[in-house]
Chain A
Amino acid sequence: MSLWEYANPVKFLALSARVQPFAWGAAALGIAVGLVWGFFATPDDFRQGSTIKIIYIHVPSAWIAINAWIMMLVASLIWLVRRHHVSALAAKAAAPIGLVMTVIGLLTGAIWGQPMWGTWWAWDPRLTSFLILFLFYLGYIALWEAVEDPDTAADLTSVLCLVGSVFALMSRYAVLFWSQGLHQGASLSLDKEENISDVFWVPLVISIAGFTLLFLALVLYRTGTEIALRRSRALSVRLDRNT
C-alpha cells in the first residue's frame, strides 16, 4: 500500500469520492465559524477600527494563492519524474483556483488599503509580488489551453512552473530591493512575539484552515472533471480506431 497507488485515475476517483464530502463539510464549517467569529465576536482594532475584519478573507486567500502555486510545483515535479497523469491534472486543476484566490487577495487588499493607507493601490513589495504571481498564473493557464496534445501540455506547463517558480522567487527579492513597503509585517509567524493578538489570531487560523479545506475540495473536484475529460477523449479515440 503506497501513496503512488492513487496515481491510478480510478483509485484516485474512488478515494476522492470518499474524501470530498468531508472536505466540503469541514471547509464550510471552518469558513463559517472563522468568518462569523471574526466578524461578530472580535473587538475592533484600536488603530484600524472595524476594517481589520477583512483580514479573515484577505489573509486566507493570500495563503491559498501562494500555496496553490507551491502545490502545482510539487505536482509538476511528480509528473516530470514519475509520469503520473493524476498529478499533472491536479496541477492543472489547481491553477484557476490559485488565480481566483490571488485576485481575491488583491481586491480585499485594495478595499482594506483604501481606508488604512488612503489609496487603493501602492507599489508596495507585497502587493507587487502578488501582481507578478497573478501574471504567472495567467501564463501558466494560457499555456495549458494553447497546447493541443494533453501530455505535451502537461510537460511544457511543468517546465514553465519550475522555471517560473525560480523567477517568481527572484522577482520577490527584486521587488523588495526596488521599493520600501507600506504593508504590515506577516500576520502569522511561528515567532509568537510578532503575531497579532490572540483575539484575532484564533478565528483567523480557523478561517485559514477552512480555506485550505475548500482548496482541497475544489482541487479534488476539478481533478475529477479533468480525468473525466481525458477519459472521454481516450474512449472516443478508441471508438474511432475500432470502427
Chain B
Amino acid sequence: MIALLLRDLKLALRAGGGFGLGLAFFLILTVLVPFSVGPQSALLSSIAPGILWLGALLACLLSLDRLLALDFEDGTLDVLATAPLPLEAALAVKGLAHWITTGLPLVLAAPFLGVLLNLPPEGFGWLVISLLLGTPALSMIGTFGAALTVGIKRGGLLMSLLVLPLYVPTLIFGAEAARRGAIGMDAETPLFLLAGISLGSIALLPFAAAAALRMTIR
C-alpha cells in the first residue's frame, strides 16, 4: 500500500500537472472573482469563504479524471485487480494520494488567497480547518466518481455531472463553517457534520468505488 502511495506521489511530481495545475486553477479563479463582482472590500470579504470553498472544490474536480483513467489505459488497473492488495485498499490509497497532491496544497494555499479576497482575520483559522476536514471527502467522492466513469470514452464531463451533486453536502457544511467562523458565529456544529461526512466517505466509498471498478473491468 505504501508502495502504491509513493508511486502515485512520484508520478504526480514527475508528470507536473498534479501539484501545479489544481493550485494554479485555484489561484486564477480567486483572482477572477473581484473582476466579476467588483472590488468593494466589504462585498468580497462577505463572499470570500464561499468563493474559496467553491474554488477548492472545482480545483479538486479538475484533476479527478487523471486519477484512474491513466491506470486504466496502461493496464495497471487489471494487474492491481489481480494483485494480493484488495482493490478497496488500492482505491483508498489512490484517494489519499489525490488528497496529498491536490487537497493538501489547496488547504495550504487558501489563507494566502483569503488575503486577496479581504477575508476577515478571525476567518483564516476556520477556513483552513474546514478545508482540512472537508477536502478528504472531496477526494474520496471524486475517486468514486472516477471509478464509475473510468471505462467511458471522454468521461470527464460526465464525471463532473455525477460528482458535483455528490459534493453538495460537503460544500454546504464546509462553506457554512468557514462563513460562520469569519463573522464570529459558532462554527463548530457544521465542522462536526463536515468531519462526519469525511469520515463516512473514507470508510464506505472505497467499497463502492471498488465495486464500480470491478464492474467496469469485467
A–B proximity contact (CB within 8 A): yes
A-side interface residues toward B, CB under 8 Å? 132, 135-136, 138-139, 142-143, 146-147, 152, 155-156, 159-160, 162-164, 167-168, 170-171, 173-175, 177-178
**Closest CB of chain B to A173's CB: distance in Å?**
8
Select B151's contact among A147, A160, A162, beta carbons within 8 Å: A147
Given known contacts A142-B158, A159-B208, A163-B208, is B151 in contact with A152 (CB within 8 Å)? Answer: yes
- Chain B interface main SS type: helix
User: B190 contacts the other chain (Cβ, under 8 Å)?
Assistant: yes
Q: Pick the contact of A177 from B151, B162, B173, B218 — CB < 8 Å?
A: B173
**Are A178 and B155 CB-contacts (below 8 A) given A139-B161, A155-B215?**
no
Q: Which residues of chain A come closer than 8 Å to B211, judged between CB atoms?
A: 159
Known: A143-B148, A156-B215. A136 touches B165 (CB 8 A): yes
Docked Cα-Cα span, A139 to B148, in Å, equals 11
19 contacts between A and B (CB under 8 A): A132-B168, A139-B161, A139-B162, A142-B158, A142-B162, A143-B162, A146-B155, A147-B151, A147-B152, A152-B151, A152-B215, A152-B218, A163-B205, A163-B208, A164-B165, A174-B193, A177-B172, A178-B172, A178-B176
For B162, the closest partner residue in chain A by CB is A139
Q: Which residues of A lie under 8 Å from residue B168 when comparing CB positions?
A: 132, 167, 171, 174-175
Asked if B80 CB lies within 8 Å of chain A CBs, one says no
Chain A proximity of B180: nearest CB distance (Å) = 11
A-chain residues with CB within 8 Å of residue B4 when the two chains form the complex: none
Docked Cα-Cα span, A132 to B168, in Å, equals 8
**Do B190 and A177 touch (CB < 8 A)?**
yes
A160 to B144, CA, bound (A): 9
> How far is B189's CA from A42's CA once the two chains are assembled, in angstroms?
46
Contact of B169 among A135, A155, A156, A170 (CB under 8 A): A170
Is the pair A138, B215 in contact by a Cβ cutoff of 8 Å?
no
Interface assignment of B212: CB less than 8 Å from any CB of chain A:
yes
Residue of A nearest to B168 (CB): A171
B contact residues around A146 at 8 Å (CB): 149, 152, 155, 158
Report yes or no: B212 in contact with A170, Cβ–Cβ below 8 A: no
Cβ distance A143 to chain B, nearest Cβ, rounded Å: 6
Contact B165 A160, beta carbon cutoff 8 Å: no
- Measured between beta carbons, the chain A residues less than 8 angstroms from B216 are 152, 156
Chain B residues near A147 (CB-CB < 8 A): 151-152
Q: How far is B166's CA from A174's CA once the two chains are assembled, in angstroms? A: 12
Output the nearest chain B residue to A139 by Cβ-Cβ distance.
Answer: B162
The reply to whether the CB of B197 lies closer than 8 angstroms to some CB of chain A is yes
Question: Cβ of B162 and Cβ of A167 under 8 Å apart?
Answer: no
A47 CA / B173 CA spacing, docked (Å):
36
Nearest 10 pairs of A and B residues by beta carbon: A155-B215, A174-B169, A174-B172, A135-B165, A170-B169, A139-B162, A171-B168, A167-B166, A146-B152, A178-B172
Query: Within 8 Å of chain A (Cβ to Cβ): is B164?
Result: yes
Kindly report which residue of chain A lies nearest to residue B164, judged by CB atoms. Answer: A135
Q: A135-B164, A159-B212 are in contact. List 10 more A-B contacts (CB 8 A).
A: A138-B161, A143-B148, A143-B149, A143-B162, A152-B151, A152-B216, A155-B212, A155-B215, A159-B148, A175-B172
Q: In the assembly, what is the distance between CA of A142 and CA of B156, in Å?
A: 12
Asked whether, in the complex, the Cβ of A156 is within 8 Å of the Cβ of B164, the reply is no
CA–CA, A147 and B173, complex, Å: 33
* A28 CA to B173 CA, complexed, in Å: 44
A147 shortest CB reach to chain B, Å: 6
Chain A residues with CB below 8 A from B162, complex form: 139, 142-143, 160
- B155 CB to closest chain A CB (Å) equals 7
| Given contact pairs A139-B162, A139-B165, A171-B169, A177 touches B148 in the complex (Cβ within 8 A) | no
For B156-186 the 0/1 string (1 means CB < 8 A from A) is 0010011011101100110010000000000
